[in-house]
Amino acid sequence: MATIYDVSKKTGLSASTVVRALNGTGYCSQSSRDAILEAAHELGYVPHQAAKALKSHITQKVMLCIPDIMNPYYFAMIQGATQVLDRYGYNIILGYTMHSPKKELEVLESLKGRYVDGLIFGSFDYSPQLIQAIRDTDLPTVITSFYESAEEQDFYDCVHVNQPRAAWIATEYCLRNGHTRIAFLGGDAGEQNTRERFEGYRKALEERDIALEESLAIHADFTREGACHAFRSFLEQGGECTAVVACNDLMGVGCMNVCRDMGIRVPDDISIVSLDNTDYCLCTDPPMTSVDMMQRQVGEEAANFVMNRILEKRRFQKNMAFSPVLVVRDSVKKRN
Amino acid sequence: MATIYDVSKKTGLSASTVVRALNGTGYCSQSSRDAILEAAHELGYVPHQAAKALKSHITQKVMLCIPDIMNPYYFAMIQGATQVLDRYGYNIILGYTMHSPKKELEVLESLKGRYVDGLIFGSFDYSPQLIQAIRDTDLPTVITSFYESAEEQDFYDCVHVNQPRAAWIATEYCLRNGHTRIAFLGGDAGEQNTRERFEGYRKALEERDIALEESLAIHADFTREGACHAFRSFLEQGGECTAVVACNDLMGVGCMNVCRDMGIRVPDDISIVSLDNTDYCLCTDPPMTSVDMMQRQVGEEAANFVMNRILEKRRFQKNMAFSPVLVVRDSVKKRN
DNA sequence: CTGTTAGCGCGTTCAC
DNA sequence: GTGAACGCGCTAACAG
């Protein structure tokens, strides 16, 4: 591997001149610059990243931390973030926390090794402990959820989609179509994510003076299999509803699977709305009505925000909220 | 951020003793070790990755290069690779080549900056130029396809699934079920991936003495939208078939979409088999019969192979081929 | 068993 | 304009 010293030797110029020419920083005559650029090219010189990072504290890497790689929710986000970071010459390091708080803390701890310049962090559940761990990394960070801190914070930004509103939109759409017995299919009730979405569901019902029924809240685990199991149990135990709000597409698909297996027609017997609007919605029959959670945009803006903090050394906080958008397809029936 | 010098100062021992204690390399008395470990813990010492990499040439990172983040084909592969690498304390850097040969070369060029220890490289099309570029990185590499070189090679391994066989299995399954007019829905005919799969399709027909019909080979682009468009054109222009072998699930779903829109029943009117066996197959109605391409296993073994090269400094070549497995669901009808 | 020393490749003074 | 010299934090001889 060629170093600046090889270029230096080849051109007869000093190493520091080589650096100045290559980085376009400081004085360098045109002729020297030309000679250096040519020599560097011939030698296939590429700066050694570790050396550069050690000296300049710039790694050109951002960690993108997500709870679940197999969840399609994150694909568009990864894609959006990747494309923006790529424009800045930045690479993504994947942090995979496997939906585990313990693993999340481990990953954050490892970040103290300073191998990234910034962090985009997605979690299902922002505990105070987690926020503290994020703060301890002392890294420009964007979290893809909204976490209001008690204190004035200036170490992280929030780029997120209004979760309660997404569930509200889905529920309200069912209500508007004449449904009143609407089941809520969510994840673990203890997690922020599910709590927020449930809140939107609750609010929509309340606004229309429809009593919340404990038994209509079904808790699964954000997977298709889990939803199948939970929704089947619900029905087998005599649960009745004319519509389901599923907290993600995977669970919406699970519902559809159960309906098909049990001979229940969608949307004639049961209507289904899910949240996420991934490509899964286009595979089902009927195509599934879903609330777009703007994942690509979240990924893009999160990347823009970290890069802004990194490059401009911005210290004050910026938050951005996207409003989710209902995408109507054919899985909801109008009742009279 | 704490350094070994901080630990050194705090314990009164020299920096090298600190290193020996921390890395468990070389002599160090028990009492010194205890003092050092405690001090390191108190200071929250984490070794600086860039410094470590500069000195030891170990980055603890592997690049995983893929052509398309939104293609579900790769999710399981990423997941498999991530989990194995995680066990070794290695991180994944995502290389996203956007299905572009130019971008592939750019990414490989950047790797000369030595910011990873190894490379897992997926491509739709291994050109000699690409292979040369991979060789030029001089990095332990695994490609997720089989590329037989003219020379004896020792710089990369192949972990892949037998592509012609996958298409052969899909086609043969249709034939076994009495179909003879079987359409082939592939990607760009110039790409290795499509060529290989077409070869399996061709062979299956040949074995049963069924003439290959030019017009039954439909070329799209591996996306759902592209497949919709191509398959619809095929039908509208009078194309006739009783079965379709789609080169990936996305395209299989596209076919199903078209059939639904045109009032064609699956599998009664047209049978569909796809390759990949991602979760999309479980969303469709009927569930789609597909050939499992063992992506998780490919990811896992690819990771094991790179790690083996990195840690054991293995130089000779190892190749591993997985046989694809047919997963029968309900999208193929038996004809008599 | 421990400490001193000398780089890894690069960026940044600071003299010239 | 240019080059010499130093240090980022860590590792690996080597001498003690």
In tens, the pLDDT along A148-207 reads: 765 666 688 999 999 999 999 999 999 999 999 999 999 988 888 899 999 999 999 999
Domains of chain A listed by start with CATH number: 4-47 (1.10.260.40), 56-161+295-324 (3.40.50.2300), 164-292 (3.40.50.2300)
pLDDT of res. A79? 93
Nearest CA-CA distance, residue A120 and chain B, Å = 14
Nucleotide C3 C1' to residue B38 CA (A):
21
Least confident of A271-285, B76-90, B152-166, B262-276: B152-166
Q: Is B58 on the interface with A (CB under 8 A)?
A: no
Structure tokens belonging to residue A101: 């708080």
Q: How many Å apart are CA A232 and CA A228, to the nearest integer? A: 6
Q: Is the CB of A19 under 7 A from strand C?
A: yes
Beta strands in A162-312 (DSSP E): 182-186, 217-219, 243-246, 271-276, 289-292
CB contact under 8 A, B50 and A115: yes
| Burial of residue A157 (number of CB atoms within 10 Å: 0-12, 13-18, 19+) | buried
Nearest CA-CA distance, residue A240 and chain B, Å = 23
Residue type, A83: Q
Q: Which residues have C-beta within 8 Å of that of residue A326, sequence separation ≥ 6?
A: A169, A170, A173, A289, A290, A291, A292
Q: How many Å apart are CA B290 and CA B280, to the nearest integer? A: 10
DSSP three-state, residue B297: helix
Nearest chain A residue to B61 by CA: give it.
A93
Least confident of A135-139, B5-9, B189-193, B225-229: B189-193
Nucleotide D9 C1' to residue A16 CA (A):
22
Nearest chain B residue to A79 by CA: give it.
B69
Q: Which residues have C-beta within 8 Å of that of residue B295, sequence separation ≥ 6?
A: B73, B74, B75, B76, B77, B80, B276
Higher pLDDT, B149 or B61: B61
DSSP three-state, residue B145: coil
In tens, the pLDDT along A90-117 reads: 999 999 999 899 999 999 999 999 999 9
CB-CB neighbours of B100 under 10 Å: 12
Interface of A with B in 205-234 (CB under 8 A): 224
The answer to whether the beta carbons of residues B276 and B185 sit under 8 Å apart is no
Place of tokens 């007869």: A12
Choose the closest CB to B113 out of A48, A78, A94.
A48
Q: Is the CB of A49 under 7 A from strand D?
A: no
The answer to whether the beta carbons of residues A244 and A183 sit under 8 Å apart is yes
Nearest chain B residue to A249 by CA: give it.
B283
The answer to whether the beta carbons of residues A142 and A159 sit under 8 Å apart is yes
pLDDT of res. B102? 95
Contact residues on chain B for A72, CB-CB shorter than 8 A: 72, 75
Q: How many Å apart are CA A253 and CA A274, to the nearest integer? A: 9
This prediction's pTM: 0.93
Average pLDDT over residues A113-125: 94
CA dist B278 → A130, A203, B71, B76, B77 (Å): 33, 36, 10, 8, 11
Q: Is A119 on the interface with B (CB under 8 A)?
A: no
Q: How many Å apart are CA A220 and CA A229, to the nearest integer? A: 8
Structure tokens belonging to residue A16: 């520091």
Residue type, B74: Y
CA dist B259 → A42, B17, B173, B233, B238 (Å): 56, 72, 21, 12, 14
